[in-house]
Structures are given as C-alpha cells and as structure tokens.
Amino acid sequence: MNWLDTIVQGLLLGGLYALFAAGLSLVFGIMRLVNLAHGDLIVLAAFLILVLVSALGLNPFVAALVAMPVMFGIGWLLQSQLFNRTLGPDILPPLLVTFGLSIVIQNALLEGFSADSRRISAGALETASLALGPVNVGVMPLLTFLSAVLVIIGLNQLFYRTALGRAFRATSDDAVIAGLMGIKPHRIFATATGIAMVVVTIAALYLGTRANFDPTVGPARLIYAFEAVIIGGLGSLWGTLAGGVIIGVAQTLGASINPEWQILAGHIAFLLVLLVRPRGLFPRAVD
C-alpha cells in the first residue's frame, strides 16, 4: 500500500464530502434547521444539470452555472413558502417536513427519470490526471477539492466581510433582536437557503460527473454530509471541510486495507472523533 497516495486520494475525496456538507452547515448554522432533504436536493440538481447537458448540449460546467440561479430560486421558494412555516421552538416540524420533502423529491425524480443509473459526461476530463511528485491525482478529484476550498473561502468571506453575513450571524444569535435592527429573519433565511442551493449545485456537478447516480442515492450522500458537519463542529465552515477530509481519508484507508471496509471506516472515524470531541473539532464558541 502506498500510504502517501492513499492519503492524498482520501483528502481529495474529502473535498466532495465537504461540498455535500457545506450547504447543510450553512443552513443549520443560521436557522438551526436540519434539512433531511439535502441529499435529495443534490440529486435533483444533478438531474437538472444532466437535462441541460443532454438537451442543450452544454458543457457540464456551463450547465452547472445555468443551474445555479434556478436552484437558488428553488431554495428561496422552499424556505419562504415551506420551511419558514415550520420554524419555531419545536424542532420536530422541520424534521418531519424535510423528511417528507425527501420522499416527494425521490418519487418525483423516479417518475420523471426512471430508476436507471445516470452519469454526466465530462469528456476527456474524467480520465485526465496530473503527476504531483510521487503521486498521480485525477483532474476531477483535484477540481472537486479546489472547488470545496473555494466554496468554504467564499462562504467565510460572505459571513465575515459583508452586511448580509453580519445579518446572517445576528439573526442566528437572536432573531427577535435582529428584527429590531430592521432585519427580516424570514427573508434572511430564504436568502441563506438559496445560497445553500447554489453550493448544492456545485456538489451535484461533481457527484454527477464522478459517479453514477439515480433518484434514490440522496439519503446516502446526506449521511456523509451530516458526519462531516458534526465532526467539524456545528456551524463552523472550515470544520466542515476538515470533517469531510477526515471521512474521505478514513474511507480510502479502509478501502486500501480491504475494499469492503471503505464505508465502514468512514463511519468508525466519525464515531472515534465524537468519542474524543463530543462537540466536534471546531465548535463555535457561541451557541
């Protein structure tokens, strides 16, 4: 076993999991909403990109750019028309509603696209690779990881450098007092979910070009996303990236020992981190 290669591949895989998780982390951090349909929304975005690629003959990266505003709109509408009605002191209604939405999305996709496995073709990029010193890395995994880092940097800039980001954090701290500052929490939440859906679209691009997907794979992506968010510490975006990387490295290490252990190794790493740091690696100081 080539240790360096295994760890580098795991690191790059972690970028994909971090992309799955970043939107979840964003939404949870701002409004304490656990979106159980997050994985299915990634799959929905992947089908949207697939349709744009096959119907219009677009390059998948261009198709993702086109899909982003559409997904932002879907996120905005979902939040303003549906999720906002479920938010309150009781945490159960949002869980039930997003769980139901997950089933609705899966079945709607099954109706529309059948249960066949699909894949978005990225042409020659799919098999391209680069030699980085002693290790060969695939161009797509590298792009995935770089996208994840850029998404986290971008979201952090948004959070800590803009008026909208201040409003996000203020609303997360205390929605009633935020209202006294002229902030409309429900509108802030809708914007946040819209932005999360843009990140979901980026995740969907790499999900769809790197592996097969069908309408029912969403919940499995959701588990990795959840684990990445929780390992990293709720509400910390860099923590989410670290969490994704830990799961990715654990999975490739497990797989290199025995291919049957890939998934299991990721879950065991998750449990081990929770044993040592029950609140995750970088929990937000204020909660």
Partner 1 sequence: MTLLETRGLTARYGDFQALFGVDIALEAGEIVAIIGANGAGKTTLMRSISGVLKNAAEQIMFGGEPIGALSAPDVMARGIAMVPEGRKLFPSLSVEENLLIGKYGRAVDGPWSLETIYGLFPILKERRNSPAPALSGGQQQMVAIGRALMSNPRVLLCDEISLGLAPVVIRDIYAAFPAIRAAGASVVIVEQDVSQALKVADRVYCMMEGRVTLTGTPAALTREDIHAAYFGVRG
Which residues bind to partner 1, rule: CB under 8 A?
163, 166-167, 169-170, 172-174, 176-184, 284, 286
Beta carbon of residue 1, minimum distance to partner 1 (angstroms, whole number): 44
CB of 235 to partner 1, least distance (A): 9
Task: Using the minimum distance from each CB to partner 1, give the nearer residue, 131 or 286.
Answer: 286
Smallest distance, partner 1 to C-beta of residue 28, A: 15
* Nearer of residues 178 and 247 to partner 1, judged by Cβ: 178
Is the Cβ of residue 153 or residue 177 nearer to partner 1 in the bound state?
177
CA–CA separation, 58 and 56 (whole Å): 5
Least distance in angstroms from the C-beta of 157 to partner 1: 15
State which residue, 29 or 248, has the beta carbon closest to partner 1. Answer: 29
Nearer to partner 1, 130 or 181 (CB): 181
Smallest gap from residue 229 Cβ to partner 1 (A): 18
